[in-house]
Structure 1
Amino acid sequence: SMLAGQIVDMVENFPKYLDSLINWINETFHTELSRVEVQDSVLKSDWLQKYVQNSATGVLDVSATVLGGLFRLLTIFLFAFYFAADGPRFRRALCSVLPPARQAEVLRAWEIAVDKTGGYLYSRGLMALISGVAHFVLFEILDVPYAPALAVWVGLVSQFIPTIGTYLAGALPMLIAFTVNPWYALWVLGFVVVYQQFENYVLQPKLTSKTVDIHPAVAFGSVVAGTALLGAVGALIAIPAVATLQAFLGAYVKRYDVTDDPRVHGHRRYGEAVVARLQKALQHKKENQGTEDS
């Protein structure tokens, strides 16, 4: 109820935020702008009319794209619901056409995929919570209005919209903070940039390595590779896909014991091995001298 009320108030007061921005521009640059004049100039501008004329032919294409995206999103939610609700029945139907030996393998692969995907979603939800709390503390310190609603916005948008989610999440708090004090907008921008670096290089690799059991470097590299190959969708599915593949390899690839070779364990173990060999050589030399004396 509190969040809903704050969102309604934020939307209703949006013109006031624009007025505050225009007033700051007038005071800083000694202009005489008004919101009505800005709206009229934008609506009556030649570039806007040309843009509308050029884009009028593509309205149907844009509408079809939006409707197609909504349909695909609805399809994903629909299948996700049926897989969750009728998962046991679906597994029984699938296993009924397979021999008993194959049934165990299919069920094992199914559980691995579900576990890794669920762990990834859990990590994104946890990062959304941490991000929301961190930004809520900043908004409270700066006395920015609607701090809880803005914190929820930043946490969800930054985590569940790949690539551009961080920039979309930070734009709205910056505008609201600007109405309080222009310097507060810079503080919000700086905090968003610094926190994003901390999340990308410290928090996200650590959490994903714990929840989906992959190395932080592999988690970071998989996101980069997924973004390069499939864009935003690839960034979203890269980590659970790599974690599932790694789990499959760990389950079906036979492993062997590693030989006790210093080159395998690094320079530190190599130095320990050299010291052990020297000690063994000295001990052997002392034993030989004792034998000769006797």
Structure 2
Amino acid sequence: MAQETEPAENELDEPAIPEHRFGRPGPPLDKRNPFMMGLLGGFGVLLAWAIFLGIRNAASILVLIFIALFLAIGLNPAVTRLRKWGLPRGLAVTIVALAVVGLIAGGIIALIPPLVSQTTQLAENVPDYIQQLQRNETVNELVQRYDIVDRVSTALNAGTVTNALGGVVGAGRMIAGTLFNVLTVLVLTIYFMASFDRMRETAYSLVPASRRVRVRLLTDEILTKVGAYMVGAISIAVLAGASSWLLAVILGLGYPFALAVVVAVCDLIPQIGATLGAIIVSLVGFASSLTAGIVCIVFFIIYQQVENYVIYPNVMRRSVKVSDVAAVVAALLGVALFGVVGALVAIPMVAGVQLIVREVVQPSQEAR
């Protein structure tokens, strides 16, 4: 007789689970039912509205995150170069981050001494400027005709002073907010650089395996163009600083090297940076003399036109491989549509679109 096998220990301890322990599943819901269609449509509208409100409320933070990610992509080639020299990634990121912080700190330190001294000189020269205007017969005639003195006296009342104080408080808040945004972008950029490889591999793992290699090659090429754009932008900023240094030396302005550093750092800021640097140098020029201030204004008006329509397109054409017309049109459209962020990403975005059109869209059309 065959020996009876003893039941396993697990079979003795655990009772058999019925096939439909929680009941037999019913038929699937009829998605074509008018009630279900309206319910699902309403949930979809509410979800879309909630996403819109979330994006709108977090728009400022999302912009900071986007800028930090863009800067991390642009600085990653420097980290990669240091790693090829045998440095660990943490040390390479630290060196690049310290270089960026040193550049920002150097610009601020270079700005403070001339700003204080030249502002004092400008305040001291204001009475002389007023006397020169008073000697002008045309100015005196306009003052008497439009009663400018009485209008100014009426405007300088308690309400005006209160509004001015409110403006000062608002300016203080703006400066504090700007410093907070700069520090936030700086910290996020360091974090993104430290975990850049891990973030990139995670993003690639979400792509289907059959297309992962091609997506990796195209994306790496686009990221390379972002780094090339950063190199081109730095080259343009150095050229602007050198031109400002030469102008300051010719006019005999104080602190020419400091002014050059300020202009170079400001020129890295899209849309408003070049104008901000021009204003600072022009104020220093007016503090020196009226003629020097006018020369500075004329110089920067001409130089910015040359930079926007000659230097910038040519540098970007050589570094990012974008045509002159595409660079100018992209910069103008980026500023008009998205402001500073649009100006920051316009050229790399055009380069990426050109690459995708050339490598994906055109071969697909030719195969049809």
* Pair in the same fold by TM > 0.5: yes
* Corresponding residue of 1:214: 322
Matched, 1:133 2:242: yes
* Corresponding residue of 1:12: 116
Q: 1:161 to 1:22 in 2, by over 3 A?
A: farther
The within-5 A match list for 1:63-102 is: 63=173, 73-96=182-205, 98-102=207-211
- CA offsets per residue over residues 219-240 of structure 1, 9 Å max, x none? 1111111122112321222111
Q: CA deviation at 1:71?
A: 5.4
Q: Is the 8 A contact 2:281 2:296 kept in 1?
A: yes
Q: CA deviation at 1:7?
A: 3.8
Q: CA deviation at 1:52?
A: 4.9
Unaligned runs of 5+ in 1: 32-40, 259-294
Q: 1:140 to 1:212 in 2, by over 3 A?
A: same
The within-5 A match list for 1:1-294 is: 7-13=111-117, 14-29=119-134, 45-52=157-164, 63=173, 73-96=182-205, 98-157=207-266, 159-255=267-363
Identity, in percent, stands at 26
Q: CA deviation at 1:216?
A: 0.6
* CA distance, structure 2, for counterparts of residue 3 and residue 223 of structure 1: 25
Q: CA deviation at 1:175?
A: 1.8
TM-score, reference length from structure 1: 0.70
* CA distance, structure 2, for counterparts of residue 240 and residue 93 of structure 1: 22
Q: CA deviation at 1:47?
A: 4.9
- SS of 1:145's equivalent? coil
Q: 1:80 to 1:102 in 2, by over 3 A?
A: farther
How many corresponding residue pairs?
A: 244
Letter in 2 for 1:167: T
Q: 1:114 to 1:80 in 2, by over 3 A?
A: farther
* Corresponding residue of 1:38: none
- CA offsets per residue over residues 134-187 of structure 1, 9 Å max, x none? 111111011100111111112221x22333333221122122122322111111
Q: CA deviation at 1:66?
A: 6.7
Letter in 2 for 1:137: L
Q: 1:175 to 1:81 in 2, by over 3 A?
A: same
Q: Is the 8 A contact 2:110 2:261 kept in 1?
A: no
Q: 1:11 to 1:45 in 2, by over 3 A?
A: farther
Q: CA deviation at 1:198?
A: 0.9
Q: CA deviation at 1:87?
A: 2.2
Q: 1:102 to 1:71 in 2, by over 3 A?
A: farther
Q: 1:150 to 1:45 in 2, by over 3 A?
A: farther
Higher CA-based Rg: 2
Q: CA deviation at 1:213?
A: 0.8
Q: Which has the higher contact order (CA 8 A, sep 6+)?
A: 2
Letter in 1 for 2:311: L
Q: CA deviation at 1:101?
A: 2.7
Q: CA deviation at 1:20?
A: 1.9
Q: 1:240 to 1:182 in 2, by over 3 A?
A: same
Letter in 1 for 2:122: Y
Unaligned runs of 5+ in 2: 1-104, 137-152
- CA offsets per residue over residues 217-269 of structure 1, 9 Å max, x none? 0111111111221123212221111111112222223359x9xxxxxxxxxxx
